[in-house]
Amino acid sequence: MMSDPNSPSPAETENLVVIFLGFAFATFFYGLTFFQMYIYFSRYSKDDMWIKVLVGAIFVLDTTSAGLVSDLVYDYLITMFDVNLEVIYATPAFCIQDLLSVIITLIAQLFFAKRLHTVCRGPTSITSRSVSVVVLFCAFIAFVFGLVSVGQFFQQRELSAFALPSMAVIAGISQGFATVANIIIFIAMYWSLRPARYPDMSLPKGVFENLSMLFVGRGLGLIIIQLAYLGTFVASPGKPYWVAVQMVASRIYANTVLGLLNVREVRRGMGLNEEDTFSDRHDSRDDGLPSALQFRSTKGTQQSSSSSQEAENSRSSEIEEMSKSFTDDHNLESIHSRCSEQLAYDKASLS
């Protein structure tokens, strides 16, 4: 039995399946991006302006990237339907989408570097400065080599060209340094935000909350997606497997940053990080300013509540005693007046 000459070859089928799966997962995670953007702007209306700009920039970049991925799939499945796709040709949409992925990765790593500058024993600590500088260095190297890799993509336009040693080394360095930055972020975040350093910090309860804390709050999800990206590329740089991971990676970075912002406790439109939620500081009601939102610890709150309750009880007791004394005095006055009236009546009748 002879095969149909018009049927796609196994290599072409593999390429199309990988691209379609990457598009499907990328679209799903973009839906999460849109949902998280809505949650942020509806809850944290009084956040700092730089955070709002960050969320807006991530949403715009991720939306543009998702649109380019859709255009890419349309080109491969509709426009280039009669073209042999045994070797994937990088369209302009593919190259620009790769560039946006590099930019989103840099923004997410810069955001975590700023978080580390705060949680690693404060901005003036040598530890926080050292960790932040190392993360920034790795993120910058990954970004620069990522730009070079995107430039090579614009020139070669064939995916198989990444099997060449010169292009594979440049792309591998970019992804390798991005992976190192994510590993440092996870270790530093996990080590810094522990109950021993922040005893008043609220702890997650249950399996789901603990997993969410690890994947989003500590950055474990960034390590997993970046290792998958690096592993598929190193294993087969000329194959399309890493392309599907690359489509999803930028969405993971975007949703991790947005998720970390949305899990914060909200007070009067402002978000409080987990290490600040129950800090032992003065109550924000004393200042009356949303920018000075700081709260007492749970123990202090309970003590103040019990003191206020005792004060209220003592006031109510005093009020009851005063009302009783007032009632007694009023009764005595009424009795005295009645006795006076009775004496006057008796005198009048005798006379």
Is residue 1 situated within a structural domain?
A: no
Strand partners of residue 102: none
- 104 and 136 part of one domain: yes
- 239 and 331 part of one domain: no
Residue with tokens 């709260």: 295
- 242 and 124 part of one domain: yes
Give the SS3 label for residue 82. coil
Give the SS3 label for residue 166. helix
DSSP string across 9-26:
PHHHHHHHHHHHHHHHHH
Q: What is the pLDDT of residues 214-234, one digit of tens each?
A: 999 899 999 999 999 999 988
Give the global pTM. Answer: 0.75
Question: Where is average pLDDT lowest: 113-127, 172-186, 253-267, 309-323?
Answer: 309-323
- 248 and 194 part of one domain: yes
For the chain, report the end-to-end CA distance as a whole number of angstroms: 145
Dmax (CA) for the chain in angstroms is 145
Strand partners of residue 158: 89
Tell me what pLDDT residue 122 has.
60
| Residue 191 predicted with pLDDT over 50 | yes
Give mean pLDDT, residues 162-189: 90
Is residue 4 situated within a structural domain?
A: no
List the structure tokens of 146: 């990522």
| Residue 138 predicted with pLDDT over 80 | yes
Residue 153: which of 244, 203, 91 has the closest Cα?
A: 91
| Residue 337 predicted with pLDDT over 70 | no
Distance CA 100, CA 147 (A): 10
Kindly report the average pLDDT of the chain as a whole number.
Answer: 78
Is the CA virtual torsion 73, 17, 36, 175 positive or negative?
A: negative
- 196 and 312 part of one domain: no
Tell me what pLDDT residue 155 has.
83
List the structure tokens of 54: 């960050």
Question: How far is residue 174 from each of residues 159, 226, 228, measured CA to CA in Å?
Answer: 17, 11, 14
Tell me what pLDDT residue 342 has.
55
| Residue 134 predicted with pLDDT over 80 | yes
**Is 1 or 345 the better-scoring residue by pLDDT?**
345
**Is 121 or 90 the better-scoring residue by pLDDT?**
90
| Contact (Cβ atoms closer than 8 angstroms) between residue 250 and residue 68 | no
List the structure tokens of 167: 């292009």
Residue 128 belongs to domain with CATH number:
1.20.1070
Give mean pLDDT, residues 176-183: 96
Distance CA 285, CA 333 (A): 48
Domain with 291 in it: 269-296
Q: Work out how many domains the chain is built from and give that number.
A: 3
**Angle 91-96-99 (CA atoms, 0-180°, nearest 5)?**
135
List all residues 6 or more positions away from 271 whose beta carbon is below 8 Å from its beta carbon: 43, 44, 47, 51, 261, 264, 265
- 239 and 282 part of one domain: no
Q: How far is CA 57 from the centre of its chain?
A: 14
List all residues 6 or more positions away from 246 whose beta carbon is below 8 Å from its beta carbon: 22, 98, 101, 229
Q: What is the pLDDT of residues 7-19, one digit of tens each?
A: 667 777 787 888 8
Is residue 112 situated within a structural domain?
A: yes
Given pLDDT bands bounded at 50, 70 and 90, which one contains residue 165? confident
| Residue 346 predicted with pLDDT over 60 | no
Q: What is the pLDDT of residues 284-295, one digit of tens each?
A: 433 333 333 333
Tell me what pLDDT residue 2 has.
44
**Is 279 or 109 the better-scoring residue by pLDDT?**
109
Tell me what pLDDT residue 251 has.
94
Give the SS3 label for residue 265. strand
| Residue 328 predicted with pLDDT over 50 | yes
Is residue 232 situated within a structural domain?
A: yes
- 112 and 203 part of one domain: yes
List all residues 6 or more positions away from 105 whose beta carbon is below 8 Å from its beta carbon: 139, 142, 143, 146, 178, 249, 250, 253
Distance CA 73, CA 88 (A): 12
Tell me what pLDDT residue 289 has.
37
Is residue 5 situated within a structural domain?
A: no
